[in-house]
Amino acid sequence: MRRTSALADEFAENRAVGRIAFSAQQKAGTTRQARLFEEGPLRLRCPNSLAGALEAMIVNTAGGVAGGDSLQLHLSVDENARLTVTTAAAEKIYRSLGADAVIDVYLKVESGAALAWLPQETILFDRARLRRTIRIDVAQDAQLVFAETVVFGRTGRGEEVAHGRLIDRWHLYCEGRLLHAESLRLDGAIAEKLAHRAVTGGNVAIATVLIYPGDEMIAEALRVQKFCGEVGLSAWKGMAIARLCARDGATLKRDLIALLGNPDFAAAQSGLRVALPRLWAS
Q: What is the 3-state secondary structure (H, E, C) of the chain?
A: CHHHHHHHHHHHHCCCEEEEEEEEEEECCEEEEEEEEEECCEEEEEEEEECCEEEEEEEECCCCECCCCEEEEEEEECCCCEEEEEECCCEEECECCCCCEEEEEEEEECCCCEEEECCCCEEECCCEEEEEEEEEEECCCCEEEEEEEEEECCHHHCCCCCCEEEEEEEEEEECCEEEEEEEEEEEECHHHHHCCCCCCCCCCEEEEEEEECCCHHHHHHHHCCCCCCEEEEEEECCEEEEEEEECCHHHHHHHHHHHHCCHHHHHHHCCCCCCCCHHHHC
The structure's pTM equals: 0.91
CA 250 from chain center: how many Å? Answer: 16
Specify the pLDDT at position 22: 98
> For the residues 208-215, what does the mean pLDDT come to?
92
pLDDT tens readout for residues 6-46 = 545 555 567 889 999 999 999 888 899 999 999 999 999 99
Specify the pLDDT at position 279: 76
Specify the pLDDT at position 28: 85
> For the residues 163-180, what does the mean pLDDT come to?
96
What is the average pLDDT value for the chain, to the nearest integer? 88
Residue 97 has pLDDT above 60, yes or no: yes
Type of residue at 55 = E
- Select from 121, 85, 131, 93 the least CA-distant residue to 205: 121
pLDDT tens readout for residues 129-171 = 999 999 999 999 999 999 999 999 987 787 889 999 999 999 9
State the pLDDT confidence band at 195, using cuts at 50, 70 and 90.
very high
